[in-house]
Every structure is written in C-alpha cells, then in structure tokens.
Amino acid sequence: MEYGKIEREIEIDAAPTTVFEVITSPEHLTQWWPDEAVLDPTPRAVGELVFGDRSSGDAQIPQITVIDAQPSRLFSFRWVYPDGEQAGEHNSLLVTFELTPRGSGTLLRMTETGFREKGWEVAVLEQQYREHGAGWDHYLPRLAAYAPTVGVVIP
C-alpha cells in the first residue's frame, strides 16, 4: 500500500456556500468534527482543534495552519505538526476540501496528503494512515448529515 494520500468524495444536499461555512466556522465544525475549534479561515492563520475534554488533560489539541480559503470553492489547512514549529511540507499533513456545485447540492472532495513526507517509521506511518482514513470515514458522513440543516428554521 502507498500510504501517500487519503481521498474521499461525498455528496452533500446543501449549496457550496453553506458547505464552506460548515467546514470553516468553529460553531459549525463542532457539530460534526472536533469538540472545540479555534479557527479563522484566512490564509496563514493558526488555530486549533480540540478532540476530547480540554479540562481533563486527556484532549488531543492539534494546531492547524490555514493554507487556502476560497469561499464556496476550496479550503485547505496543515495539521499534525510539532508544537512550536511552523507547518510545512515535510512536518505536517495537508487537508484540502474542494467544493463543486452538483445540482442543488455540493460534491465535496477531501484529500489528505503528507504521510510519507513526515518521515515516520513504517509502523507509525501505517497506523496514522489507517486512523486518519477511519476518522474521515466517520466524520464526513456527519458533515453530510449536518450541512443541510444549517439555516433551517424549525417552528
């Protein structure tokens, strides 16, 4: 197996403008992915995602650096890089969400690259690749279920 790139495509019954908001806004991100998010969807902005309870000390809190943000079209960031370092091509993973209008909805194509470039030992590389693939398989359907509810007023 190559372990170079994770790719997923998912159809979402919401407009690209809505999907972009759902993948870049902390208030929406926490509805389908992390427990907390600090994020400004502006290139070079540094934020964080919190998985777990921050107060317990058991949370995983990866920093993220926004690479590109083109409303309704594309959002990319780097993550999984050492604390105190700037995210770069050889020390982080790159996640890219590409949004394409499809009928009244959106085709979201997610790619995550950089696994080989991290220089991990083979066992760590394989484990990280499997864990990230399983994570996306869990979270992307949650995104697809949540996005159509944004902006819907329940009487």
Cα–Cα dist 94/18, whole Å: 22
Q: Where are the beta strands (DSSP E) in 25-138?
A: 36-38, 46-50, 63-70, 74-79, 93-102, 105-113
Q: Please identify which residue in the block is written with the tokens 């921050």.
A: 54
Total-model pTM: 0.94
CB atoms within 10 A of CB 65: 19
Is residue 96 pLDDT above 70, yes or no? yes
Distance CA 33, CA 138 (A): 9
Q: What is the pLDDT of residue 55?
A: 87
* 152 has a pLDDT exceeding 90: no
pLDDT band at 1 (very low <50, low <70, confident <90, very high): low
Q: Alpha helices, DSSP H only, in the chain? A: 16-24, 26-32, 122-146
At 62-71, the pLDDT tens digits run: 999 999 999 9
Quote the CA–CA distance of 60 and 52 in Å, as a whole number: 6
